[in-house]
A and B are shown apart, each in its own frame.
Chain A
Amino acid sequence: WRAPPGTRTLTPRFGPSKPMLAFRFLRALTLVHRTAANSSNAARSRRIQRAAFASMAYSAGPRRAWSRALLCRLHFHRARRRCAGRRRAAGVPRRPSTTGSPADGLRRLVPGGTGMDYCGLLEETADYIRCLSEQVKLMQSIVDSVGPGGR
């Protein structure tokens, strides 16, 4: 393989764009509240969760493998639900990986982690963790801002 000419000892880490995240998520949240006001809480929470992941993926941008995989998964699920009816995939028996590499657990957690080498997986994990924590902070601040008055 070829090492890049300008050796990057530590690549600069660009964090997730907070304004983008906030904007997207807030917009999605209001959308959910508006359109699904009469559905159950559970369904709404699932939609909100999906909206959270979608806004995360969009704000991270397409240059990240995990965001691409996440968006693919979201679109695929949405398409499958709308078009193909409800077909549950056969549950794959999960075995704790004793023989596999130690990174298998991580691969399952991080979207798009299965198709990556260990080095890229670690990088994607770092970015994923950063975005996830930003999302959590945002949602927490929303909940806090509503205050104890909310149901």
Chain B
Amino acid sequence: MDMHGKDGCNSLKNEDNLEYNHSGNSSDWQQCNPSIGCSDSGNPSATVSQGNQIGSTPCSSISMADPFSAGLWNLSTESTSLDLCKDKLQGSSNQITGNSMPIGGTLLQTGSGVLHPSLSHFPSDSAFIERAARFSCFDGSDLGGLMNPYSAAQSQSPHSSASRESSGAQIQKNEINMMEAVRGASLSTTDHGSKEKDNSHAAGNSSSTLPAAMKRKRPSEDMALDQAKVASQISGEMDDDNMELEKKAEQNSSTAATSTPRGKQVKDGNESSKEDFIHIRARRGQATNSHSLAERVRREKINERMKLLQDLVPGCSKVTGKALMLDEIINYVQSLQQQVEFLSMKLAAINPRLDIDVEAVLSKYLLQTCTGPSAAMGSSSGIVRPPPLHPSQQGLAQAGLSGMVNLPDLFRRSINAQMTASQGYKEPKMQVYSLF
């Protein structure tokens, strides 16, 4: 069958994705923010083995459907955001039962036909399947209406619904590691769901603001974007609704992505294998081979460092562009080094007979960043301090340097010892080193 052949090719391509996603998932999701509903590490590994089997038999849609359904239902029951899961589950339900997509329609019909026998061993989900079948006639954009009947059904079987919800969430997260046959068409609909979710949860998990990079606390947006990307790859024709949503996805991803969209098709990217220990989601429209992924990570690291430098160097916030920033930084470092030289000349010119008022220096220097004195008082015993230093004394304690209070004593002692004794240099050093 033509579709089967197509499925075969795509499944082969996605085999790597499956392996990658699963292996990535088991470690990745352990560190996920549980509020997003991470799965157990055990479940994805179970699906991994199934996924591998599936990949090897591309033409058997039944085996393809199996892990999908298994993964769908076996995933962890953790999930916090009901709405999130509902949306995703809407998408997943659409996946199962098909939608109005012309290409996906036939696929899904075969998929749904295949799914039913596999679903027989989930008796508790039969009600869900009926509901899903009902939902198939709904347009993807009408997910709001879909949510209500589903929410009514949730009260019936909390556990299974929770598992469904989480599985729906997992589907998003695991990148529907399953058959792209069901996945391909489903992705366009999960695109609906994800976009709905994105739009509704714009305040919370705004995918448009988070760059989809290495393991983040909110991988769901990455999932959504990635699904949208794969959806664009697999489904050649798009409905008008899907076109709108694709544009929306593009806007979302363009705001999220860096300013270098790749010209390569996602299809090519899926063909190359992702390394299994780099947990990065390729963004929409970007190549996903390992080189560009590593490069993208590197670039983001560099951008992050540049931001830090921008904070450090005064007056750098107005400068835009890497070259100008670099020049500013170089100028600043040069000016700092010149300042050190100048100040050392000044210090050399200071009459060495003058005693350096250590306490004053320390108080002034160490409290430079402190704002005001707090109630906490630290007393440096026995040191006579001029009145203006009292607030600085309090500030000393406030700074949280509890050991600091003793330091002026030691400083003074050590330095005086050095200045007076000729041979006693080592001893004060030893004294002070014991403190540190």
Contact = CB atoms under 8 A, between A and B. Distances in A.
B411 A26 contact: yes
B164 interface: no
A140 B339 CA distance: 9
A10 B304 contact: yes
Nearest to B436: A20
B330 A105 contact: yes
A18 B356 CA distance: 18
Q: What bracket does the count of chain B residues touching chain A fall in?
A: 35 or more
A109 B432 contact: no
A9 interface: yes
A136 B351 contact: no
B361 A7 contact: no
A42 B313 CA distance: 30
B366 interface: yes
A1 B334 CA distance: 34
Contact of A137 (B301, B330, B368, B425): B368
Contact of B305 (A23, A123, A128, A149): A123
B330 A109 contact: yes
Interface in A36-78: 37, 41-42, 44-49, 52-53
A142 interface: yes
Interface in A83-135: 102-103, 105-106, 109-110, 118-119, 122-123, 125-126, 128-130, 132-133, 135
A145 B349 CA distance: 14
Contact of A30 (B326, B404, B415, B432): B415
Contact of A150 (B306, B343, B350, B368): B350
A79 to B, nearest CB: 21
A128 B333 contact: yes
Interface string B407-426: 10001001100110000010
A23 B412 CA distance: 10
B323 to A, nearest CB: 6
5 contacts: A23-B411, A49-B340, A102-B326, A119-B301, A126-B309
